[in-house]
């Protein structure tokens, strides 16, 4: 590999313009692919197969009107007074006109909704009055019927008495043998009266039946009225106009889910509602509408590159030399970013994905080019011929760059094992950016070095070419006592910084996480103040009714479900919003007490999902931002240990292969884990606890759900880079006969400058993203910058050398059988260097390879 890179380096230096033109053609292809294939980026995330995703899919099938994304436009008077009639009319006109916007499915006029609610309340009151009147009529009718029944009973009693008298008279006459003809007329009269009474009884029975039927109907109506009143009572906490009349919410529903909502549709919504300003009224937009695709390059990123340039200039002492790593890195970023964005029409790409690729492309692109340039400059100072030096630099430092880049690429590609599509895509795009950076470092950098010639050295440095440079101060092993103190202090410091990680909560950013000046944050705050925190993140609960319902049973079932939901802790209001045609699916809007990222809301989601089957086999599903947060965060939390095991295992295997040792890989991996958890702690302290939040201009909240996984992948690769450039020099010195502890000192002295510069460059690049507009990018930038700081300067510069000193020769122990079966990986290209004898100093035990190439400060 080293020999191949040596030849590639010499070829690139000799045919410099051919290589440069080839890369320009590649850039042109990337630009063409971008112009043809770029279809936009998504501002939301999705994990297939989650509980909330299944609910959304069911809504799309059964209740499509409620499956699309929904946003809120917030209107508020500037002086806090109630809206005037003119202002209310203007807002209503805007709401009505918004229905004609492309992609908008529905718009709710807040004042119409308020009036409908008032009308519903009045209808309930009128209904109660009507029922009370009907009940009184029934009571009066029953009283009259009871009186008629009593009269009929009295008449029957009188008739029975008359019949008894007539029967007695008939018996007397018959006993006396007298004729009873005269009694027949009286009997006929009594029979006629009995017939009248019987007819009256039938009429009374018929009236009673009608009265009973009316009472039954009235009872049913009263029950429905009370059920409606109870449902209205449960929904009282849902409002679109504030109590003081100063704030109104216009709810905008879109015809596609959030993941498919195009930026142009959101921009059109904002432009429309801002097109006709209302005097004395301000307007703001919720995150769904206001969230934009973050700018790929901002002021913070430019500042980061400027700091990196300063580090390069201080280290290399030449403007030309300092500019080359920047040129190659920026060119590589252009190729990598445009190439990746070309596929945005094929796959759903999150907005943060290309930004992550740019972060990595800039950082490693500068570092990898720096390693080769620094090696080349050192060889020139020692008298090497120009193109021979370029080839050797590419075969030694370039070989290490190729290996380091491969390590980072493998770690990033391993994100695909998480099974989370957007994470795997982020890892793939990041790996592609690193691959481009490696290829450019191994081809374009030698080409530029060939064109630069001896000008890569300053005038004063060129005057010293051919002189052998030795270190004035010889390396000395540290004391054992110092090593012990260093190990304890470094470990304790990292563990203390990691403490906040125990309180880490994962989530996705909402309006409260945005900057105070943003419209999303203003909308979030106003909504919370006027309507309660839960109004910023209502839940969508879907009830599956497998047996279906008769239309008469819908309201009672809705009430039972709504009451069950309301009985859970942390619920402000519940309202049924839709039922499908066959009454098998019901949707409810649930307003929690607190916001979508709060602990209580997350617990509410878990409680609702944990209810199991209700009466009739009814089951509940939950969607909404809080539910999505829980699902994504839980999925990522589940895959984090798996991914960490994969990365740690990969680290051990790679380090065993490189250093032919068992303990050095354990030290390297253990140090990485320490720095990783320290980074988690720092991120939690700043972004969740709010330490330094005012200085950084951020709002405290949950940690970005996928940040821990991303940090593992990227920081692992970078940590192994630093380990490689430091420990390889230690091993080379040890192999060439230096005592183990002296070898540690020699290797550390040889490699510390280049690792320091590389780390400072990465911190500068990553740190620039801390000041990006997007809170997601800020947290990623901070995490990477702090992670590099902790790993490079605490683990690799302090902890690792101290542990290596304490272990002595044991650090390099490896079973003989394993040593025999492993291939010889000459990462630093020492064999190539010895074969070509690039400089007299190449044979010095502690000065072999890329890791020991101390940067030459040139005046």
The string of pLDDT tens digits covering residues 50-98 is 788 888 888 888 888 887 888 899 999 998 899 999 999 999 999 999 9
608 in Cβ contact with 543 (< 8 Å): no
* Greatest Cα-to-Cα distance within the chain, rounded to the nearest angstrom: 171
Distances from the Cα of 487 to the Cα of 284, 398, 490, 671, 795, angstroms: 53, 32, 5, 11, 9
Give me 311's structure tokens: 């580090």
According to the model, what pLDDT value does residue 846 have? 37
Q: Where are the alpha helices (DSSP H) in 102-180?
A: 110-176
Q: Look at residue 643 in the predicted model and tell me its pLDDT.
A: 84
Cβ contacts of residue 19 below 8 Å, gap of 6+? 11, 12, 443, 444, 446, 447
Number of helices and strands in the chain (H, E) = 27, 10
> What is the rounded distance in angstroms from the CA atom of residue 541 to the CA atom of residue 546?
16
pLDDT tens digits, residue range 450-493?
A: 888 887 776 666 666 666 555 445 678 888 999 999 999 999 99
DSSP letters along 301-352, please? HHHHHHHHHHHHHHHH--HHHHHHHHHHHHHHHHHHHHHHHTTTTTS--BTH
274: its two tokens: 């801002």
Q: Is 98 within 8 Å of 276 (Cβ atoms)? A: no
The whole-angstrom distance between residue 327's C-alpha and the CA centroid of its chain comes to: 33
- CB contact at 8 A, 524 and 514: yes
Q: How far apart are CA 841 and CA 833, in angstroms?
A: 11
Domain ranges of the chain: 2-43+294-503+631-847, 538-623
Question: Nearest Cα to 836, choosing from 382, 379, 388?
Answer: 388
Distance (Å, rounded) from C-alpha 553 to C-alpha 561? 12
* pLDDT, position 465: 67
Q: Which superfamily, per CATH, for 538-623?
A: RRM (RNA recognition motif) domain (3.30.70.330)
Q: Using an 8 Å Cβ cutoff, are 47 and 420 in contact?
A: yes
Tell me whether strands 506-507 and 703-704 are parallel, antiparallel or unpaired: parallel
| Cβ burial, residue 36 (10 Å; 0-12/13-18/19+) | exposed
Q: Residues near 5 by Cβ (< 8 Å), separated by ≥ 6?
A: 394, 395, 398, 399, 402, 442, 829
Give the Cα separation of 452 and 362 in Å (integer).
22
At residue 269, the pLDDT reads 92
More confident residue, 643 or 123: 643
d(CA 398, CA 6): 8
Place of tokens 């400060």: 857
Query: Tokens 């790409």 label which residue?
Result: 349
Higher pLDDT, 114 or 447: 447
Higher pLDDT, 552 or 673: 673
The one-character DSSP state at 417 is G
Per the CB < 8 A criterion, the answer to whether 401 and 474 are in contact is no
Tell me the sheet residues that pair with 544: 585, 619
Mean residue pLDDT of the chain comes to: 83
* Angle (CA) 476 478 483, round 5°: 165
Rounded Cα gap, residues 583 and 550, in angstroms: 8
pLDDT at residue 188 is higher than 90:
no
Q: Give the tokens for residue 623.
A: 């969607």
Nearest to 414 by CA among 634, 635, 631, 645: 645
Residue the block writes with tokens 């943003």:
518
Tokens, residue 307? 């700091």
Token pair in block for residue 658: 């490189």
Relative to beta strand 247-254, strand 104-108 is: antiparallel
Strands 506-507, 281-285: pairing is unpaired
Give the whole-angstrom CA distance, residue 172 versus residue 167. Answer: 9
Residue 838 confidence (pLDDT) above 50: no
Q: Is 207 helix (H, G, I), strand (E, B) or coil?
A: helix
Topology agreement, domain 2-43+294-503+631-847 and domain 538-623: no
Please enumerate in sequence order all residues whose Cβ is within 8 A of that of 421, keeping only pairs 6 or more positions apart, or say none: 46, 47, 48, 348
Which burial class, exposed, middle or buried, applies to 696 when counting CB atoms under 10 A from its CB (0-12, 13-18, 19+)? middle
Q: What is the pLDDT of residue 679?
A: 96
CA distance 441 to 439: 5
Q: How many angstroms separate the CA atoms of 751 and 725, rounded?
A: 6
The two tokens of residue 305 are 């590159």
What CA–CA distance (Å, rounded) separates 21 from 29? Answer: 12
Higher-confidence position of 464 and 187: 187
CA pair distance 176, 166, nearest whole angstrom = 15
Site of tokens 């992550």: 356
DSSP one-letter code for 508: -
Q: How far is CA 506 from the centre of its chain?
A: 9
Q: Is the pLDDT of residue 207 over 80?
A: yes
Which of 370, 396, 362 lies closest to 456, judged by CA?
A: 370
The predicted structure's pLDDT at residue 831? 64
Q: CB count, 10 Å around CB of 512?
A: 21
pTM of the model: 0.79
Residue % of the chain over a pLDDT of 90: 18
Q: How far is CA 108 from CA 121, 244, 277, 292, 803, in A?
A: 19, 20, 19, 24, 66
Nearest residue to 847 via CA among 375, 384, 370:
375
Q: What is the mean pLDDT of residues 671-684?
A: 94
pLDDT value, residue 857: 35
Q: Please report the pLDDT score of residue 472 as a whole number.
A: 44
Residue 732 CA to residue 660 CA, distance in Å, equals 12
Sequence length of the chain is 859
Is 423 exposed, middle or buried (CB count within 10 Å of its CB: 0-12, 13-18, 19+)? buried
**Is the sign of the CA dihedral 469, 473, 474, 477 positive or negative?**
negative
Taking only the tens place, the pLDDT of each residue in 324-378 is 988 998 999 889 888 888 887 777 777 778 888 888 888 888 888 888 888 888 8
pLDDT at 375: 82
pLDDT digits (tens, 9 = 90+) for 142-184: 888 888 888 888 888 888 888 888 888 888 877 877 777 777 7
Percent of the chain, pLDDT > 70? 92
Termini Cα distance of the chain = 35
Residue spans of alpha helices (H) in 769-829: 775-789, 800-807, 816-821
Q: Which is more confidently placed, 647 or 361?
A: 361
User: What phi, psi does 429 have (nearest 5°)?
Assistant: -65, -40
Question: In degrees, to the nearest 5, what angle opens at C-alpha 728 toward C-alphas 725 and 734?
Answer: 145
pLDDT at res. 458:
67
- The residues, ordered by sequence, that sit 6+ positions from 417 with a Cβ below 8 Å of its Cβ are 642, 643, 646
What architecture (CATH level 2) is domain 2-43+294-503+631-847? Up-down Bundle (1.20)
Q: Given pLDDT bands bounded at 50, 70 and 90, which one contains residue 802?
A: very high
């Amino acid at each position: 590999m080293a020999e191949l890179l040596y030849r590639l380096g010499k070829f690139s230096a000799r045919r410099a313009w051919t290589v440069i033109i080839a890369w320009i053609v590649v850039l042109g292809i990337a630009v063409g692919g971008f112009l043809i294939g770029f279809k936009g980026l998504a501002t939301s995330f999705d994990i297939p197969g989650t509980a909330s995703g299944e609910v959304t899919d069911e809504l799309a099938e059964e209740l499509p009107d409620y499956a699309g994304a929904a946003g809120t436009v917030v209107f508020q008077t500037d002086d806090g007074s109630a809206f005037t009639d003119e202002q209310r009319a203007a807002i209503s006109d805007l709401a009505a006109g918004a229905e004609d916007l492309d992609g908008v499915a529905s718009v709710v006029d807040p004042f119409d909704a308020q009036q409908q609610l008032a009308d519903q309340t009045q209808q309930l009151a009128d209904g109660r009055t009507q029922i009370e009147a009907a009940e009184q009529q029934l009571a009066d009718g029953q009283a009259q019927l009871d009186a008629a029944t009593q009269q009929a009973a009295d008449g029957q009693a009188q008739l029975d008495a008359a019949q008894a008298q007539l029967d007695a008279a008939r018996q007397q006459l018959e006993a006396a043998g007298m004729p009873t003809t005269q009694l027949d007329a009286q009997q006929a009269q009594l029979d006629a009266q009995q017939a009248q009474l019987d007819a009256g009884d039938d009429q009374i029975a018929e009236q009673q039946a009608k009265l009973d039927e009316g009472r039954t109907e009235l009872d049913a109506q009263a029950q429905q009225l009370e059920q409606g009143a109870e449902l209205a009572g449960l929904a009282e906490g849902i409002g679109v106009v504030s109590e003081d009349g100063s704030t109104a919410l216009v709810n905008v529903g879109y015809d596609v889910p959030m993941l498919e909502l195009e930026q142009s549709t959101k921009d059109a919504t904002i432009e429309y509602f801002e097109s006709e300003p209302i005097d004395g009224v301000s307007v703001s937009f919720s995150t769904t509408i206001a969230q934009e695709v973050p700018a790929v390059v901002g002021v913070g990123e430019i500042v980061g590159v400027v700091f990196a340039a300063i580090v390069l200039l201080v280290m290399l002492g030449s403007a030309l030399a300092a500019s080359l790593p920047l040129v190659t890195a920026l060119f590589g970023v252009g190729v990598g970013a445009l190439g990746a964005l070309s596929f945005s029409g094929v796959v759903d790409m999150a907005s943060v994905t290309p930004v992550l690729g740019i972060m990595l492309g800039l950082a490693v692109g500068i570092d990898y080019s720096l390693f080769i340039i620094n090696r080349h400059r050192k060889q020139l100072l020692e008298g090497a011929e120009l193109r021979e030096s370029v080839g050797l630099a590419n075969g030694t430092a370039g070989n290490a760059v190729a290996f380091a880049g491969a390590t980072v690429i493998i770690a990033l590609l391993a994100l695909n094992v998480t099974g989370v599509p957007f994470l795997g895509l982020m890892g793939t795009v990041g790996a592609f950016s690193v691959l481009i950076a490696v290829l450019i470092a191994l081809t374009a950098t030698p080409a530029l070095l060939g064109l630069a010639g001896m000008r890569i050295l300053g005038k004063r440095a060129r005057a010293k070419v051919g002189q052998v440079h030795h270190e004035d101060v010889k390396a000395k092993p540290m004391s054992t006592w110092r090593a012990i103190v260093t190990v304890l202090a470094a470990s304790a410091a990292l563990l203390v910084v990691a403490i906040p990680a125990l309180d880490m909560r994962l989530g996705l950013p909402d309006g409260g996480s945005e900057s105070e000046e943003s419209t999303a944050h203003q909308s979030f705050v106003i909504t919370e103040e006027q309507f309660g925190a839960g109004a910023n993140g209502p839940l969508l609960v879907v009830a599956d009714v497998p047996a279906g319902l008769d239309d008469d049973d819908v309201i009672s079932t809705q009430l039972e479900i709504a009451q069950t939901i309301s009985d859970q802790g942390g619920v402000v209001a519940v309202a049924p919003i839709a039922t499908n045609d066959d009454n098998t699916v019901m949707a409810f809007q649930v307003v929690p007490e607190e916001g979508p990222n709060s602990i209580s809301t997350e617990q509410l989601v878990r409680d609702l999902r944990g209810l199991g089957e209700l009466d009739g086999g009814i089951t509940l599903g939950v969607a909404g931002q809080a539910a999505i947060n829980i699902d994504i965060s839980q999925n990522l939390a589940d895959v984090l240990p798996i991914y960490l095991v994969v990365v740690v295992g990969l680290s051990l295997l790679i380090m065993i292969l490189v250093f032919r040792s068992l303990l050095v890989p354990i030290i390297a991996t253990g140090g990485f884990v320490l720095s990783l958890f320290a980074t988690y702690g720092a991120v939690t302290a700043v972004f969740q606890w709010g330490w330094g939040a005012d200085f950084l201009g951020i709002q405290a909240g949950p940690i970005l759900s996928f940040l821990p996984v991303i940090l593992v992948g990227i920081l692992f690769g970078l940590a192994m880079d630093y380990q490689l450039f430091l420990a390889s020099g230690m091993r080379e010195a040890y192999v060439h006969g230096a005592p183990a502890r002296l070898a540690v000192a020699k290797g550390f002295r040889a490699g510390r400058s280049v690792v320091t510069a590389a780390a400072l460059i990465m911190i500068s690049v990553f740190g620039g993203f801390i000041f990006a507009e997007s809170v997601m990018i800020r947290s990623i930038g901070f995490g990477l910058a702090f992670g590099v700081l902790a790993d490079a300067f605490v683990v690799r510069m302090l902890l690792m050398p101290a542990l290596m000193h304490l272990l002595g020769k044991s650090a390099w122990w490896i079973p003989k059988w394993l040593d025999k079966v492993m291939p010889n990986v000459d990462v630093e290209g020492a064999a190539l260097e010895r074969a070509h004898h690039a400089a007299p100093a190449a044979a010095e035990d502690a000065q072999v390879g890329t890791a020991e190439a101390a940067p030459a400060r040139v005046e």
